[in-house]
């Protein structure tokens, strides 16, 4: 059985324009094209589209998806792998939701009786379930930086990697504190933090201005990044992006 592109768009929620784009870049060619020029999809293409959408939901870029689909041999085994990733991500989000819920309760208690939050909840607990790697400079959308980061990480011990992740999370929390304190994105304390981030980024490789701006946009446009920022503080994703754009205008242009 075959389905026309309009029907596939309706079933999947993906626009016909996106499906045509997937065809044009070789990611998802239709089963065949009718004499009327319309694209038709069969069961195999629907299964492949499901994989594409699952991987997109996991934050994988189109280039990497094409590589994954090109390398895989067995569709069933690939789906099992995707399922494991989704279950892992679900469990992580459950932990993250519990962390945020616990922090809300601690803050409410702290404000009510004046007890410092750190005496109620170990500081380490603030970071449970948060994976800064999820919002670090994109390992999927910026392949050159991904390779530089991979090489740097390969030389680190697991303890060093975990320490680096906690450090990055702590910077995100501090940025949220600056935002909550009313500092504009282009204010000196905020820009000082962004400069620190930029210098750390530049230690891996020189980052062109346009790529840095693309990274800034990803803070709000990449669903995984945005969700991780927002889990720390509502509005933090937009604040980080605005701060990076202000830094670019003031120091990189």
Per-residue pLDDT at 133: 46
Per-residue pLDDT at 120: 43
Per-residue pLDDT at 188: 96
CATH of the domain at 54: 1.10.1660.10
pTM over 0.75: no
Per-residue pLDDT at 185: 96
The per-residue pLDDT string of the chain (253 residues; one tens digit each, 9 = 90 and over) reads 899 999 999 998 889 999 999 999 999 999 999 998 999 999 889 988 988 888 887 777 788 788 888 776 677 777 787 778 777 777 777 776 776 677 677 667 767 776 655 444 454 555 555 554 444 444 556 777 777 777 777 777 767 766 777 777 778 888 888 888 899 999 999 999 999 999 988 888 888 999 999 999 988 988 777 877 887 788 999 999 999 999 999 999 7
Query: How far apart, in whole angstroms, are the C-alpha atoms of residue 58 and residue 145?
Result: 19
Give yes or no: residues 115 and 138 share one domain: no
Give yes or no: residues 172 and 193 share one domain: yes
Is there a domain that residue 230 lies in?
Answer: yes
Give yes or no: residues 110 and 184 share one domain: no
CATH of the domain at 162: 1.10.490.50
Give yes or no: residues 201 and 151 share one domain: yes
Per-residue pLDDT at 6: 93
Give yes or no: residues 238 and 151 share one domain: yes
Give yes or no: residues 253 and 140 share one domain: yes
Give yes or no: residues 54 and 103 share one domain: no
Please give the structure tokens belonging to residue 66.
Answer: 């094409």
Per-residue pLDDT at 216: 93
Domain count for the chain: 3
Give yes or no: residues 147 and 244 share one domain: yes
Per-residue pLDDT at 136: 46
Residue 182's domain spans which residues? Answer: 130-253
CB 185, CB 243: distance < 8 Å: yes
Is there a domain that residue 78 lies in?
Answer: no
Is there a domain that residue 7 lies in?
Answer: yes
Per-residue pLDDT at 132: 45
């Amino acid at each position: 059985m075959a389905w026309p592109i309009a029907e596939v768009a309706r079933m999947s929620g993906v626009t016909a324009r996106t499906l045509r784009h997937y065809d044009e870049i070789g990611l998802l060619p239709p089963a065949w094209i009718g004499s009327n020029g319309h694209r038709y999809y069969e069961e195999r293409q629907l299964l492949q589209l499901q994989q594409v959408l699952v991987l997109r939901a996991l934050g994988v870029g189109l280039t990497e998806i094409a590589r994954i689909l090109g390398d895989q041999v067995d569709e069933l085994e690939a789906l099992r792998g995707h399922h494991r990733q989704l279950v892992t991500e679900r469990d992580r989000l459950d932990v993250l939701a519990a962390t945020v819920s616990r922090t809300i309760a601690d803050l409410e208690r702290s404000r009510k009786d004046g007890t410092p939050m750190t005496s109620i909840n170990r500081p380490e607990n603030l970071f449970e379930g948060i994976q800064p790697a999820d919002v670090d400079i994109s390992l999927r959308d910026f392949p050159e930086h991904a390779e530089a980061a991979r090489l740097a990480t390969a030389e680190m011990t697991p303890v060093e990697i975990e320490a680096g992740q906690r450090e990055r999370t702590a910077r995100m929390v501090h940025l949220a504190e600056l935002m909550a304190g009313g500092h504009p994105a282009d204010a000196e304390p905020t820009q000082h933090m962004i400069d620190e981030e930029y210098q750390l980024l530049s230690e891996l490789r020189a980052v062109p201005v346009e790529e840095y701006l693309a990274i800034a946009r990803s803070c709000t446009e990449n669903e995984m990044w945005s969700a991780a920022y927002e889990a720390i503080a509502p509005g933090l994703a937009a604040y980080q992006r605005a701060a990076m754009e202000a830094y670019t205008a003031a120091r990189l242009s």
